[in-house]
């Protein structure tokens, strides 16, 4: 429990440090890797199994559930001006967005493991309320994006996190969760004109 609180405190503190440009953005991923080692030690110390982190084979039900969430997020991006608001503020200049494989294989999974899978395992271990997990993990996930300094993106990540956390509560599937995150991240940060596959006809 103490280590869990320490990791949460370090995560919040480092996010603020990045937000105020006290360290380079690239250091964020090194810090995420350090947190992973803390998480692994924590779950070993508590005797938590990897299945509680979502490391289990996807089921048809979980695939359908995450597909629905992904489609809703994709449609929301396409039917609103949020992509233009985000890109217009030059959030998409981050190097991890330019590297498809890095974002899909490393960035999105690391974010989900830190902000959602680990809190879920802790909440389950201590038998805390599921609704608190949904709110807690959503706040962590949204807060971790404030360094991008875009209020629209922060709000969108919070709303999507509510959907992801609720889905993860019923279907703890790390692979499907990470893939859903990666797809929406790539859609959000890709201009409409760049890829026909990622386009969605705007209704505005």
Residue 203 lies in a domain: no
Residue 76 lies in a domain: yes
In this predicted model, what pLDDT tens digit does every residue of 152-181 receive, in sequence order?
888 889 999 999 999 999 999 999 999 999
In this predicted model, what pLDDT tens digit does every residue of 29-40 receive, in sequence order?
677 777 778 888
Residue 204 lies in a domain: no
Residue 179 lies in a domain: yes
Both tokens assigned to 133 = 């997990």
Residue 191 lies in a domain: yes
What pLDDT does 202 receive? 40
pLDDT band at 198 (very low <50, low <70, confident <90, very high): very low
What pLDDT does 34 receive? 77
CA distance 146 to 154: 6
pLDDT band at 96 (very low <50, low <70, confident <90, very high): very low
Q: Which domain holds residue 110?
A: 2-198
Q: Give the global pTM.
A: 0.81
174 near 117, Cβ under 8 Å?
yes
CA distance 181 to 8: 21
At residue 16's C-alpha, the angle toward residues 15 and 22, to 5°, is: 100
Residue 168 lies in a domain: yes
Residue 93 lies in a domain: yes
Count: domains in the chain? 1
What pLDDT does 102 receive? 77
């Amino acid at each position: 429990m103490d280590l869990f609180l320490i990791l949460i405190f370090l995560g919040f503190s480092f996010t603020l440090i990045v937000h105020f440009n006290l360290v380079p953005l690239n250091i964020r991923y090194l810090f995420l890797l350090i947190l992973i080692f803390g998480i692994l030690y924590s779950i070993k110390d508590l005797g938590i199994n990897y299945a509680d982190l979502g490391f289990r084979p996807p089921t048809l039900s979980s695939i359908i559930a995450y597909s629905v969430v992904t489609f809703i997020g994709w449609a929301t991006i396409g039917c609103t001006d949020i992509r233009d608001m985000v890109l217009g503020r030059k959030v998409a200049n981050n190097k991890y967005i330019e590297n498809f494989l890095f974002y899909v294989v490393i960035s999105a999974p690391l974010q989900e493991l830190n902000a959602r899978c680990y809190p879920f395992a802790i909440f389950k271990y201590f038998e805390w309320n599921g609704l608190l997990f949904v709110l807690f993990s959503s706040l962590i996930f949204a807060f971790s994006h404030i360094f991008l300094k875009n209020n629209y993106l922060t709000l969108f990540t919070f709303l999507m996190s509510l959907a992801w956390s609720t889905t993860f509560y019923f279907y703890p599937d790390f692979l499907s969760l990470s893939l859903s995150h990666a797809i929406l991240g790539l859609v959000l940060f890709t201009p409409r004109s760049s890829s026909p596959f990622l386009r969605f006809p705007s209704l505005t």
